[in-house]
Amino acid sequence: SKDRGGGVFHAYEPQLHADAEERRVLELELRQALERRQLALHYQPVVEAASGTLRGFEALLRWNHPRLGSIGPDRFIAIAEETRLISPIGEWVARTACEEAARWPGDLRVAVNVSPEQLTNPHFVTVIASALVQSRLPAHRLELEVTEGVFMREGTGATRVLEQVLDLGVRLSLDDFGTGYSSLGYLSRTRFSSIKIDRSFVVSAAKGVPEPLAIIRAVVALARSLGMATTAEGVETEAELAMVRELGCSNIQGYYFGRPLPVAEAREVIRRGSTN
């Protein structure tokens, strides 16, 4: 039966099988990654657009896998979400990031990514409260980054958990803005401190494509009128930097100012007081 026009499908089967197998193995290994101390946070600088002053860092998860080396979150966060491993992993991320940021001077902030799954857990607010108390990090120096996916989860209590976490005094930013099913309703209902403009807009706008340029301009104006800041993500080049500054983005993050760095290197950036 596979011969009757099914040749193409057949050709993909070994790869499909390999992917499913790799995923199953990764899932088993991910269960042990935490206790084996294979997870690490890297910290990427976020700077103020106008002055270039360091404002803080975004914590980005890495898995130091014994066979595969350093693995990025795009390869295992989805697995963690589907297996509920995201709860213990997310708790470790929050605690570790708060403890690290508590050593930083001044008002430097740390931003932590929170997946929608985590907000469906009513204990999430306790996890954040406890991370703040134990690290003694002032709440306003912790920023949580959520995506539009959070608002697609009606009936799970996610937005209610979000409100409770906000009552702790932490900051909230809207990540990857414009890449999901954007609805402006939740922007006015939720106490966001900032909107993060996805790299895809930055790249095409800097190439002179008019629509993404118009969108960034509109988002900056919208954020301003709602009293929110904007962060341009994924700024790599001088041209992209000039453009997002020109458009009035408040903060900038991207390889131009620094890649995600191991903790010791992030401390070195703070010590030198400069990202280069």
Binding site for Ca ion (CB under 5 A): 113, 145, 175-176, 233
Q: 11-50: which residues touch ligand C2E (CB under 6 A)?
A: 44
Residue 244 CB, nearest approach to Ca ion (Å): 14
**Of 31 and 149, which has the nearer Cβ to Ca ion?**
149
**143 in contact with ligand C2E (CB under 6 A):** no
Q: Report the C-alpha gap between 143 and 51 in whole angstroms.
A: 21
| Contact assessment for residue 229 and residue 194, using Cβ atoms and an 8 Å cutoff | yes
**Of 29 and 145, which has the nearer Cβ to ligand C2E?**
145
Residue 255 CB, nearest approach to Ca ion (Å): 14
Q: 177-206: which residues touch ligand C2E (CB under 6 A)?
A: 199
Residue 202 CB, nearest approach to Ca ion (Å): 11
| DSSP-derived secondary structure for 119-165 | HTSTTHHHHHHHHHHHHT--GGGEEEEE-GGGGG-TTTTHHHHHHHH
Residue 61 contact among Ca ion, ligand C2E, none, beta carbon within 5 to 8 Å by kind: ligand C2E
**Of 112 and 166, which has the nearer Cβ to ligand C2E?**
112
DSSP 75: G
> What is the Cα 257 distance to its own chain's centre?
17
Pick one of 30, 33, 47, 93: the residue that binds ligand C2E (CB under 6 A). 93
Pick one of 9, 68, 72, 218: the residue that binds ligand C2E (CB under 6 A). 72
**77 in contact with ligand C2E (CB under 6 A):** yes
**C-alpha dihedral, 170 to 201 to 263 to 98, nearest 10°:** 10
C-alpha dist (Å) from residue 44 to 100, 139, 180, 201: 13, 20, 23, 20
Which residue type, as a one-letter code, is found at position 242? Answer: A
Q: Report the C-alpha gap between 232 and 223 in whole angstroms.
A: 12
Residue 239 CB, nearest approach to ligand C2E (Å): 13
What share of residues in the chain are helix, strand, coil (percent, to 5)?
50, 20, 30
Residue 14 CB, nearest approach to ligand C2E (Å): 28
**61 in contact with ligand C2E (CB under 6 A):** yes
Residue 7 CB, nearest approach to ligand C2E (Å): 36
Place of tokens 């306003």: 140
Binding segment toward ligand C2E, per CB under 6 A, in 70-78, 100-108, 181-189, 244-252: 70-78
Task: Give the residues across from 114 on adjacent strands.
Answer: none
Task: Give the residues across from 63 on adjacent strands.
Answer: 39, 71
Pick one of 162, 194, 260, 269: the residue that binds ligand C2E (CB under 6 A). 260
Q: Which residues are near ligand C2E by CB under 6 A?
A: 44, 60-61, 72-74, 77, 93, 113, 115, 145, 175-176, 199, 234-236, 253-255, 260
